Structure 1
Amino acid sequence: MRKGKRIVVKVGTSTLTDGGRRLSPPRMVDLARQIALVRSKGVDIILVSSGAIAAGREVLNYPELPRFIPKKQMLAAVGQPRLMAMYTEYFAIYGQRVAQVLLTRADLMDRKRYLNARDTFEALLLQGILPIVNENDTVATEEIRFGDNDTLSAQVAALVEADDLILLTDQAGLYEADPRVVPGARLIREVPAEEIPDTLWEAAGGSRSGLGTGGMLTKLRAADLARRSGTTVWIAQGNEEDIIIRIVNNEKLGTRFAPMISHLEGRKRYLLAGHQVQAGVWIDKGAARALSRGGSLLPVGIIRVEGEFERGDTIRILNEQGKLIALGLTYYSSSEVQRFAGKHSDQIESILGYTFGEEVVHHNHMVFMRNGEHESA
Structure 2
Amino acid sequence: MSIDRLPQLTDAAETPRLVIKVGSALLVGKDGEPRRAWLTLLVAEIAAARARGQDVIVVSSGAIALGARKLGLARGGRGSLADAQAAAAVGQIALAGLWAELLAAHGLIAAQVLLTLEDLEDRRRYLNVTATLGTLLAAGAVPVINENDTVATEEIRFGDNDRLAARVGQAAGASAVLLLSDIDGLYDRDPRLEGAVRIPVVRGVTPEIHAMATGGSSSGLGSGGMTSKLQAAEIAGLAGIALAIIDGRPESPIAAALGAERGTLFCPPARSGRKARARKAWLGGKLRMKGSVTVDAGAAAALARGSSLLAAGVKAVEGSFLRGDAIAVLGPDGAVVARGLSEYDAAECAALMGHPSTEHEALLGYAPRSALIHRDQLVML
TM-score by length of 1: 0.66
Q: Which residue is equivalent to 2:240?
A: 230
CA distance in 1, matches of 2:98, 2:65: 13
Contact 1:101 1:133 (8 Å CA) reproduced: yes
Q: Which residue is equivalent to 1:85?
A: 97
Deviation (angstroms), 1:135: 0.3
Q: Which residue is equivalent to 1:103?
A: 115
1:37 to 1:176, Cα distance in 2 relative to 1, 3 A: same
1:163 to 1:18, Cα distance in 2 relative to 1, 3 A: farther
Q: Residues 280-295 of structure 1: matches in 2 within 5 Å? A: none
- List runs of 5+ in structure 2 lacking aligned partners: 1-11, 283-374
Deviations 1:335-374 (A, max 9, x none): xxxxxxxxxxxxxxxxxxxxxxxxxxxxxxxxxxxxx999
Q: Secondary structure at the match of 2:53?
A: coil
Deviation (angstroms), 1:167: 0.5
Q: Secondary structure at the match of 1:236?
A: strand
Q: Which residue is equivalent to 1:254?
A: 263
Q: Alignment partner for residue 146 of structure 1, among 138, 152, 158?
A: 158
1:18 to 1:190, Cα distance in 2 relative to 1, 3 A: farther
Deviation (angstroms), 1:244: 2.5
Deviations 1:142-163 (A, max 9, x none): 3321111111001001111211
Q: Secondary structure at the match of 2:111?
A: strand
Deviation (angstroms), 1:74: 0.7
The aligned amino acid for 2:232 is: A
Deviation (angstroms), 1:63: 4.5
CA distance in 2, matches of 1:143, 1:109: 13
Contact 2:21 2:58 (8 Å CA) reproduced: yes
1:273 to 1:66, Cα distance in 2 relative to 1, 3 A: closer
1:265 to 1:257, Cα distance in 2 relative to 1, 3 A: farther
Q: Does 2:18 match 1:7?
A: yes
Deviation (angstroms), 1:250: 7.4
1:224 to 1:251, Cα distance in 2 relative to 1, 3 A: farther
Report sequence identity in percent: 42
Q: Residues 160-309 of structure 1: matches in 2 within 5 Å? A: 160-180=172-192, 182-192=193-203, 194-245=204-255, 252-262=261-271, 265=273, 267-271=275-279
Q: Which residue is equivalent to 2:125?
A: 113
Deviation (angstroms), 1:251: 5.7
Q: Residues 25-64 of structure 1: matches in 2 within 5 Å? A: 25-63=36-74
How many residues were matched structurally? 272
Deviations 1:267-289 (A, max 9, x none): 41444799xxxxxxxxxxxxxxx
Q: Secondary structure at the match of 1:212?
A: coil
The aligned amino acid for 2:276 is: K
Contact 2:21 2:162 (8 Å CA) reproduced: yes
1:38 to 1:70, Cα distance in 2 relative to 1, 3 A: same
Deviation (angstroms), 1:21: 4.1
Contact 1:174 1:204 (8 Å CA) reproduced: no
CA distance in 2, matches of 1:19, 1:5: 35
Q: Secondary structure at the match of 1:130?
A: strand
TM-score by length of 2: 0.65
CA distance in 2, matches of 1:66, 1:103: 19
Deviations 1:190-234 (A, max 9, x none): 101x34242543433411322111111111111121112110010
Q: Which range is displaced more, 127-136 or 16-25?
A: 16-25
1:26 to 1:267, Cα distance in 2 relative to 1, 3 A: farther
Q: Which residue is equivalent to 1:310?
A: none
Q: Which residue is equivalent to 2:140?
A: 128
Deviations 1:78-131 (A, max 9, x none): 100011111111111111110100011111122221111111100110011000
1:267 to 1:105, Cα distance in 2 relative to 1, 3 A: farther
